[in-house]
Amino acid sequence: PWQLSYNHPDVLALREKMKNILRFWLDMGCSGFRVDMAGSLVKNDPQQNIRFFWQDVRKMMDENYPDAFLVSEWSNPHDAINAGFHADFMHWFSGYDDLFANENSFFRTEGKGNITHFLDVFFKQYAFTSGKGYISLPVGNHDLQRIMNGNRDQRDLEIIQVFAFTTPN
């Protein structure tokens, strides 16, 4: 009973307050926002009504701050971009670990890893988002093991960077 509907007047008022905070920082010269856990800000949201909030934010940004950029850590570019984000960090799926994190990951000098699962997931998402927004593949952040951890040499790191910079978005 303590949870309110996404369109309850109190929730709508909170959304406006949140947009005012975004406006404050954009007016101060902020170039945009990275939103951690963007798809899970609302508890028990099987219909993903949170997307209405982000679509509203995007509309406000497009109208008043057209050069500002909104990137999510949703890890589902299809949902994130449809919710209004310009880009999404795609890393919370098992194919990502196959590239960088597993002991036998694809980007290891030993060459024991397999990129197939990653490519299957990536190109499925790419088909949904191409021309609408961007898929971002982080090579490390506060939630992930840094790519330098483990047995990586300079050549491994260079190849990872080339892959990250040339992956279609």
Q: Alpha carbon of 135 to those of 44, 90, 98: distances in Å? A: 26, 7, 17
- CB within 8 Å of 75: residues ≥ 6 apart: 39, 88, 89, 90, 91, 92, 93
- DSSP structure class, residue 69: E
* Residue-level pLDDT at 54: 93
Mean pLDDT of each 10-residue bin along the chain, 169 residues long: 81 92 97 90 76 93 97 92 93 78 76 85 92 87 71 81 84
* Residue-level pLDDT at 11: 86
Sheet holding 134-136, edge to edge: 32-36, 69-73, 87-89, 134-136
Q: At what angle do helices 9-27 and 50-64 cross, to 10 degrees?
A: 40
Residue 118: helix, strand or coil by DSSP?
Answer: helix
| Residues 115, 160: Cα–Cα separation, whole Å | 13
Token representation of residue 35 = 């939103």
* Residue-level pLDDT at 85: 96
